[in-house]
């Protein structure tokens, strides 16, 4: 949505003051598979949801692509935290509600870039659900996993961008539309024409911005604490 939580808040404030709709392209909210999973979870197919896990791993150096700006902290803010984790964070917010606690660890281990090449987050939700998200640009093994575990089983959307949906007592194939962005765009246009809130609005996306800022801040605090301990030793 923006480079920082503060910038994102300014966007929401400006839209409200101007009386305009603000939509953010977190298009996976409109995946038919995600909507089906949401209804299954609400219907109790896995009992009470307890923990959600998402991993998105690949080998990626933005400097070797047509999008080198992704490795520029001034333009991108962060690496895979904002490029990849943002979408998984938003999905967890969509499924589980308000995030209230975040811990993050970011580092650059392999890729010769200024932003992090991996990020791991734990998010605590007001509902009691915990989310764990791990995103990487430093893995030669590609992964795209998304699972929700509850008291009575798990629902598996892996790969998140594929059609498979597996849950206790069933398995379905629910493919995404050929144009991945179309349902999100259609929803936004409908919201404007009918005076509704988009499924992915500035207000809902603001929660993902808060999570990312908290993840980066807690990671910096951990780094500083570790440096202090090392100096004392």
5-232 CATH, one of 3.40.50.450, 3.40.80.10, 2.40.30.170, 3.30.360.10: 3.30.360.10
Residue pair 221/95 in contact (Cβ under 8 Å)? The answer is no
Per-10-residue mean pLDDT of the chain, 233 residues long, equals: 95 96 97 97 98 98 96 96 98 98 98 97 98 98 98 98 97 95 96 96 97 96 58 53
Domain extent listing, the chain: 5-232
Q: Which pair of tokens denotes residue 153?
A: 């089983």
Distance, in Å, from the CA atom of 159 to the CA atom of 161, rounded to the nearest integer, reads 5
Residues 6+ apart with CB under 8 A from 136: 56, 57, 58, 80, 117, 118, 119
The pLDDT tens digits of the residues spanning 185-213 come to: 999 999 999 999 999 999 999 999 999 99
Predicted local confidence at residue 230, as pLDDT: 45
């Amino acid at each position: 949505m923006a480079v920082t939580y503060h910038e994102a808040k300014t966007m929401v404030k400006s839209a409200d003051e101007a009386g305009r709709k603000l939509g953010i392209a977190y298009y996976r909210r409109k995946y038919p598979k995600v909507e089906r999973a949401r209804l299954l979870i609400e219907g109790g197919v896995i009992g009470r949801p307890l923990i959600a896990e998402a991993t998105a791993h690949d080998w990626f150096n933005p400097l070797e692509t047509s999008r080198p700006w992704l490795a520029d902290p001034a333009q991108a803010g962060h690496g895979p935290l904002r490029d990849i984790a943002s979408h998984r964070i938003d999905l967890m917010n969509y499924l589980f509600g308000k995030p209230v606690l975040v811990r993050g660890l970011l580092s650059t281990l392999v890729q010769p870039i200024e932003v992090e090449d991996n990020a791991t987050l734990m998010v605590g939700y007001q509902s009691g659900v915990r989310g764990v998200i791990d995103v990487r640009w430093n893995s030669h093994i590609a992964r795209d996993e998304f699972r929700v575990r509850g008291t009575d089983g798990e629902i598996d959307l892996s790969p998140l961008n594929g059609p498979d949906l597996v849950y206790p007592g069933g398995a379905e194939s629910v493919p995404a539309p050929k144009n991945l962005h179309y349902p999100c765009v259609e929803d936004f246009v409908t919201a404007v024409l009918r005076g509704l809130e988009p499924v992915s609005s500035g207000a809902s996306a603001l929660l993902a911005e808060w999570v990312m800022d908290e993840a980066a801040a807690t990671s910096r605090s951990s780094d500083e604490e570790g440096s202090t301990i090392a100096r004392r030793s």
